[in-house]
Structure 1
Amino acid sequence: MIEDAPQAAHPGKEPQTTGSPLPPGTLGGEQKRSIEQITLLLFITVPFLALLAAVPLAWGWGVSWLDVGLLVFFYFLGCHGITIGFHRHFTHGSFKAKRPLKIALAIAGSMAVEGPLVRWVADHRKHHKFSDAEGDPHSPWRYGETVPALVKGLWWAHVGWMFDEEQTPQDKYAPDLLKDRTLRAISRQFALWTALSLLLPPLIGGLVTMSWWGAFTAFFWGSLVRVALLHHVTWSINSICHAVGKRPFKSRDRSGNVWWLAILSCGESWHNLHHADPTSARHGVERGQLDSSARLIRWFERLGWAYDVRWPSRSRIDSRRSTGEDASRRRKEPAKAA
């Protein structure tokens, strides 16, 4: 999907391209202080403060079922927008989507407030190209393998890399998205989707309860706490899942499976298989490995909204197992059912 590029001279750095005929997918291109970047930085810090305040505030004045419902609904809307849309569809081409579904996934992913579509995809493609090696934007092994170096690296992989001065060239890593006028527009309208994501919960809460207090608590739980929780779960795939976890499959990096993140990450924490087979539409390929993103892709396929889905066959899965895996785990049936 991505052409080979020379290894960057420094971790996270990439030669800048000039004279590109493709318009940028973000308002600032690769510049760090664009409107989208300022919006993202703002809504990294504010929801995090709300998350810290959530427990004492819940103890003091409680949380309603409406607040919980809004938090859960918008959490999984944004999470699946990222996992199914930004990640499996736009980044890796795990399936093809009819135009309405493609646009819906782009908007849903944008409402997770994790950055504009084109920038997210470009960064992630670069991550796969240099995974856990020099040039990876967010490897926890960036500073070495000693305990102090790993602690520093985990912080970098979790959130620090987003404050770095370097940006991934969008015309090099996401030219397919830049050529699509609608997707480019959705990416450039990141501030709009952020506002929509944050204002819908208090609007619903206020209308249901017919009170300003209901709007406020819905904003606190359904907007701020929800965004902060989703941010840290997503960032944990970059940090935790590249530092610990089981590695039953062959990959050229240190990606691991972390079972306790599976539900909250919508199946993304089965990260070792993903790096062993990046285009697979299903990450949780073993019995009992929950992968809600794969389940939804299966439903989209049955409805005719998704097609050419790259479901992993049993032989394909077994061919990627690490040396020494028990041969008795091989099965004849395909693993395509999500």
Structure 2
Amino acid sequence: MAVYAFSVIPLLALIAAIPVAWGLGFLSWTDVIIAAVFYVISGLGITVGFHRYFTHGSFKANRGLRMALAATGQMAVQGPVIIWVADHRRHHAFSDREGDPHSPWLYGTSVPALAKGFWHAHMGWIFDRDMTNQQRFAPDLLADKDIARINKYFWVWTIISIVGPGVIGGLVTWSWSGALTAFFWAGLVRVALLHHVTWSVNSICHMIGERPFSSRDKSANFWPLALLSFGESWHNLHHADPTCARHGVLRGQLDISARVIWAFERFGWATKVRWPNAQRLARIQATADEMGH
């Protein structure tokens, strides 16, 4: 219940604040639209780009798409692409074991230990971390001149992501108040929301939820996050088959990121997409059933 409280209550508080802000004139449709556009662009930059493409190689991308995914992923303000990928590859190498940078299970299974583990997995690891060896976990990206250049200018994409909405809001409304509210909602609040959604996959999706597939760790599916995470919260299949381009493979599992990859494939920008294989899914699901998951 504590995990649900930590994940749901802040979101409900934000939703409750929206009509108040609207009534006071501190939120408008312009802010909402700009925030939604930036959330989708930066969020898919993380899920399709940083995660499924750069970390796991779920598909091949042409040069233009590759650079666009690196840039839009950095607009999520979750760190430079090479650091993000190195951390996540390390997470998979040691998932829920010693060496995992953000497992909630490192301190034990008692209530106090899990509370400490939840905080560590969600965001504590960012403040007290040992840097992942990039030469070991991301040598391919270090050797890529295009990606290394984009990685170097992470600060530029951060400024564009946070300040850009305010500039757009000011130009659309032709007012300083429009710039301020767009900066707040589409810049700061949007980045914070996306951060917590991403961190919730690290924390909540390794603590509670359904586990229909067999994996070596505690990864689970947490359906309430499926829409906001663009399908990343179907986390159990991902850890059972990390290179799969689609995470939501069962009936009713919405996976927006997979649909975007499908569109990229149709346009010819993405090739060799690793779509789920029926035989592979049957095998890992059968193994999970045998293990009592």
Query: TM-score, structure 1 length as denominator?
Result: 0.79
Uncovered stretches (5+) of structure 2, i.e. residues with no partner: 1-10
Structure 1 unaligned spans of 5+: 1-47, 327-338
| CA distance in structure 1 between the partners assigned to 2:257 and 2:227 by the alignment | 10
- The equivalent residue for 1:168 is 132
- Shifted more, 59-68 versus 168-177: the winner is 59-68
Report the equivalent of 1:23: none
Change (3 A) 1:191 1:138: same
CA distance in 1 between counterparts of 2:85 and 2:287 reads 32
8 Å contact 2:90–2:100 — kept in the other structure? yes
The CA distance in 1 between the partners of 2:42 and 2:211, in whole Å, is 28
SS at match of 2:24: helix
Distance in 2, matches of 1:130 and 1:57, equals 44
Candidates 261, 267, 271, aligned match of 2:235: 271
1:244 is paired with a residue whose SS is coil
Asked if the contact 1:97–1:305 (Cα under 8 Å) also holds between the matched residues in 2, the reply is yes
Q: Deviations over 1:233-290 (max 9, x none)?
A: 0000000000001000000000000011000000000000000000000000011100
Root-mean-square deviation (CA), in Å?
Answer: 1.8
Letter in 2 for 1:107: A
1:185 and 2:161 correspond: no
The answer to whether the aligner puts 1:116 opposite 2:75 as a matched pair is no
Which of the pair is proportionally richer in helix?
2
Structure 2 CA distance for aligned equivalents of residues 324 and 190 of structure 1: 41
Once the two structures are superposed, residues 298-327 of structure 1 have per-residue CA deviations (whole angstroms, 9 ceiling, x without a partner) of 00001000000000121111111154749x
Counterpart of 1:72 in structure 2 is 36
The corresponding residue for 1:202 is 166
Q: Which residue of 1 aligns with 2:71?
A: 107
Q: Which residue of 2 aligns with 1:282?
A: 246
Q: State the match for 1:132 in structure 2.
A: 96
After superposition, the Cα gap between the structure-2 partners of 1:260 and 1:52, relative to the gap in structure 1 and judged at 3 Å, is closer
C-alpha distance in 2, partners of 1:67/1:271?
A: 31
Distance in 1 between residues matched to 2:16 and 2:220, nearest whole Å: 31
**1:219 aligned onto 2:180:** no
- 8 A Cα contact 2:212 2:288, kept in partner: no
Q: 1:169 to 1:215 in 2, by over 3 A?
A: same
Letter of the 2:99 partner, please give it.
G
1:54–1:225 contact (8 Å) kept in structure 2 = no
Larger CA deviation: 68-77 vs 264-273: 68-77
Counterpart AA for 2:122:
H
The 2-side partners of 1:171 and 1:324 are apart by: 35
Give the CA deviation at 1:62. 4.4
What letter matches 1:247 in structure 2? Answer: R
Q: Give the Å deviation of 1:58.
A: 4.5
Q: Which amino acid is 1:289 matched to?
A: Q
In the alignment, residue 170 of structure 2 is paired with which amino acid?
Answer: G
1:244 to 203, 208, 215: 208
Paired residues in the alignment total: 277
- Structure 1 residues 53, 163: closer, same or farther in 2, change over 3 A? farther
Q: What is aligned with 2:5?
A: none
Change (3 A) 1:73 1:324: closer
Corresponding letter in the other structure for 1:119:
I
Q: Percent identity?
A: 61
Residue matched to 1:316: 280
Query: Displacement of 1:53 after TM fit?
Result: 11
Say whether the 8 Å CA contact 2:101–2:129 is kept in structure 1.
no
Of 73, 85, 92, which residue of structure 1 is paired with 2:56? 92
- Tell me which amino acid in the other structure corresponds to 1:137: P
The 1-side partners of 2:69 and 2:17 are apart by 29
Which residue is equivalent to 1:16? none
Worse-matched range after superposition: 315-324 or 141-150: 315-324
CA distance in 2, matches of 1:324, 1:184: 40
Contact residue 154 and residue 239 of structure 1 kept, 8 A: yes
**Cα distance in 2 for residues equivalent to 1:60 and 1:231:** 27
* CA–CA separation in structure 1 for the residues paired with 2:226 and 2:93: 24
Q: Which residue of 1 aligns with 2:7?
A: none
Q: Deviations over 1:174-231 (max 9, x none)?
A: 0000000110111111111100111211111111110000000100111011000000
Relative to 1, partners in 2 of residues 1:207 and 1:287: Cα closer, same or farther, differing over 3 Å? same
Q: Given that residues 102 and 122 in structure 2 are in contact (C-alpha distance below 8 angstroms), is that contact kept between their aligned partners in structure 1? A: yes
**What is the TM-score when the length of structure 2 is the normalising length?**
0.91
